[in-house]
Structure 1
C-alpha cells in the first residue's frame, strides 16, 4: 500500500519540486497550502491568495489534490505576538525559527496527520539521516542550507517528516522544475521575514510599536544623537543611524535597555563589537539528549554564517555556557545559536540578553 505524504506547498519552486519528486517515487501525494497572514497589496489583492493560485496550478500540473488550511489565528498568537513583545523589550527575535516550531511542525504537522498522512514533507534544504536515532543534517547546497531554522525539531517530529530536495542544490531544483515545465520554475525566492518581505522594516513596525525615542551614546557616555526606539536597531547595524562627523562609520555595539540608550562606536571591527563567550538558554537537542561537557563542536550565531569552532563548557537542562575559539562579531541577544558536529545539526538555543 502506498504511503501518503502531505506536502506543505508555499507557492514557490522548492515545495513544487518536493511534491513532484515524491510522486515520482510512488508516494500518494497531497498538496496543502497554509495561510498564516492576511494582507493585501497596493492593488487590493490578497497576497496569500496569489500564492495559493500558484499552488493550485502546480498541483494540477503534477496531478495531485490540493487543499488549504487557515492558521492566521494560530500564527498571530504563537509567532507574531511573541515577535512584537520581544521587539518591545529591545531584543531582535527570529520569527522564522518560532514559526517552524509552533506552526509548520506543530499545528500544520498535526493537520497533515489528521488527513491520514504518513509523512509531512516540505521544501527545506536539509536532510534526515536515520541510524539509531533520527539526525538532522545540512542541505547539500551550502548557500541554501536551512538546518539553522530547524534545530528545534525533535525525534518525535523527525520520524514523521521528509525533506525531498535537501540532497539537491538550488540550481538542480530549478532545472528539475524547468524540465517539467512547472508553473513556479522561474518564480523568485521570497526574502526577509515572511510577513514583512521586501518592505521597510521600520515602516512596517511603526503602527504596532510607535516611537520610543532615546539617545545614541558612545562607550564613554557621550550623546551623539537620538534614535526612534530600540526595536528598530540591532547589534552590528550601520545603516539608518544618521550620526555624522569625521572618521569611520558608526555601528551599534550594544543596547542599554533599562535607559533606552543605544551604544555606538566607530569602525567595522571596533573591539566592542566582539565577544568570545555567551550563555544560551531555551535549549533544544535534536537527539533529545544534551552532550557531555566540555564538548568541542562548531556553531552559528546567525543564518549563513560560516561554522565557528567553539566549546560548550557548562550545561544544565535549560542553559549552556559557550566559549568560541575566535571572538565573534555582533552577538545578538534573543537570536539563536545552533550547534553542529560536521554536517550534523546537534541543536541550539536562544542567546541570553546578559553577557556571561
Structure 2
C-alpha cells in the first residue's frame, strides 16, 4: 500500500512539531514546510530565522525533509494591506483570520500540492467532521486552545485535504509528547502578536505605515481629560495606553475606551469595567461567510463569539435587504467594528463575518 503524503506547516513551535511527529507515527510520509511571510527590516531581530532553525532541528530529529517557501508578497498584498486599510479607517482587524484564509489555506495549500502532497496539516486546535454537505469545521477537544474562531473564513473545500492532528489533545498533553520524545521546542513559548510578524509595539510598528497624530481623549460628557498618540491605536474596551489618572472630581476607577471618532482623531472613554457604555445589544455586518452551503431560514438562532476565547452568547441572525442584523440574547462587552463575529451550532463552526456596526 502506497503511503499518503502529508505536508505539515512547520512554524518552529511545539504544536506543529508534535503534529509532524504524530503523522509520521501514524504511517504518513511527512514533509515539513516552513513559510516565510514577512521581510524584516535591516537591523531588526529576524524572528523568522530563529523559527526556521527551530523547525530545522525538529525535522532533523524526526528525520523528515523540510522545505522553505517565501509568501511575503502574497502576505503583503492579501493580508497586510487590508490590515493597514482597516486600521486607517478606525476599525480593529484580526490579521490571523486573513492569514489563515489567504496564506495557510491558500498559498500553502497550492505549494504543498506542487511538492507531492495528498494532504496538508497544521498545528491548529480544531477538528474536521465529515457530513453530507462536506467537511465541517468543529471545535477542538481543548476548548481553551480552540482556534476555530480564526478559521471561519476558510472554505469547506479547503478542509477536504486538511488534517488537524491535535484535535483530540490538550495543550499540556502536546507539551508532554514533545518532552517525551526530546524535541528541542518542548518548552518554547506560544507565539503571540501579529500573524507572522510577531510581537511588536503597535504604535511604533503602525507608525511606519500610517500617519499617527496626537489627539484628544474625551470623557462621556465631552470633557478633554488627556491626549493620545493616534485614535486608530485604540479599540473598544481597551485600558492600556490611556495614561489617565488623578483627575479632579473623578472617581478613582480605571478608564476604558468606549468609542472613537477617527475623522476627528478623538478617543472617548468612561470609568469602570462594567460601565454601560462598554456594552452592546447587537451588531450589523454586510456579509457572512458560511463555511458550508447551508440552507438557513431567517431569522436564525445561533451561538455567537466576538473574540477568541470569548464565551459564546445566544443570538438571532436577521437577514435584511443588504446586511445582517445580529441581536444578542444578553449584552456583550467591548464589541468593536472590524473584529469578526463567528457563529456556532454547539461545537460546529458555521462561519462568520466582519462587524461593521454595533448598537
Class of the TM-score when normalised by the shorter of the 2 chains: over 0.9
Taking the aligned partners of 2:14 and 2:355, their CA distance within structure 1 comes to: 33
Aligned residues: 353
**How far is 1:193 from its partner?**
1.9
CA contact (8 A) 1:154 1:288 kept: no
Given the alignment of the two structures, is residue 265 of structure 1 paired with residue 299 of structure 2, yes or no? Answer: no
Match of 1:347 among 340, 346, 351: 351
Using the alignment, how far apart are the partners of 2:116 and 2:298 within structure 1?
42
Matching residue of 2:156:
155
Counterparts of 1:195 and 1:65 in 2: how far apart (Å)?
22
Q: For the residues of structure 2 that align with 1:98 and 1:315, how far apart are their CA atoms?
A: 26
Contact 2:335 2:358 in 1 (8 A): no
Note the C-alpha offset of 1:45. Answer: 5.3
Aligned counterparts of 1:342 and 1:355: Cα–Cα separation in 2? 24
Aligned counterparts, 1:266-281, within 5 A? 266-281=271-286
In 1, Cα distance between equivalents of 2:86 and 2:332? 23
**2:259 corresponds to which of 254, 257, 262:** 254
* CA distance in 1 between partners of 2:59 and 2:197 (Å): 27
Q: 1:272, 1:110 → 2: CA distance?
A: 46
Deviation, 1:184, is: 1.4
Q: For the residues of structure 2 that align with 1:56 and 1:264, how far apart are their CA atoms?
A: 48
| In structure 2, C-alpha distance between the alignment counterparts of 1:229 and 1:195, rounded to whole Å | 24
- Superposed, which structure 2 residues align to 1:68-83 within 5 Å? 68-83=68-83
Q: 2: CA distance between counterparts of 1:188 and 1:218?
A: 39
Q: Helix, strand or coil: the match of 1:220?
A: coil
Instruction: Give the aligned CA root-mean-square deviation in angstroms.
Output: 1.7
Quote the residue 2:324 is aligned against. Answer: 320
- CA distance 1:195–1:130, change in 2 (3 Å): closer
Q: State how far apart, in whole Å, the 2-side matches of 1:143 and 1:196 are.
A: 24
Give per-residue Cα distances to partners, 1:292-330, cap 9 Å, x unaligned: 2121111111111111111112266x7321111101111
For 2:337, which of 323, 333, 337 is the aligned residue? 333
Query: Hey, what does 1:141 align to over in structure 2?
Result: 142
Structure 2 CA distance for aligned equivalents of residues 288 and 112 of structure 1: 26
Note if contact 2:155-2:292 (Cα within 8 Å) is conserved in structure 1: yes
Q: Which runs of 5+ in 2 are unaligned?
A: none
1:292 to 277, 290, 297: 297
Displacement of 1:195 after TM fit?
4.8
TM-score normalised per structure 1: 0.94
Of 130-139 and 214-223, more deviation after overlay is shown by 214-223
Runs of 4+ in 1 over 4 A off after TM superposition: none
**Cα displacement string for residues 79-99 of structure 1 (whole angstroms, at most 9, x for unaligned residues):** 112111211111111101000
Question: What does 1:195-210 align with in structure 2 at a 5 Å threshold?
Answer: 195=196, 197-210=198-211
Q: Which consecutive unaligned segments of at least 5 residues does structure 1 have?
A: none
Q: 1:278 to 1:155 in 2, by over 3 A?
A: same
Tell whether the 8 Å contact from 1:33 to 1:55 is kept in structure 2 after alignment: yes
Q: Secondary structure at the match of 2:55?
A: helix
Secondary structure at 1:209 match in 2: coil
Deviation at 1:290, TM superposition (A): 5.5
Q: Identify which range, 55-64 or 27-36, moves more after superposition.
A: 55-64
Partner of 1:179: 180
**Counterpart position of 2:34:** 33
In structure 1, the partner of 2:88 is 88
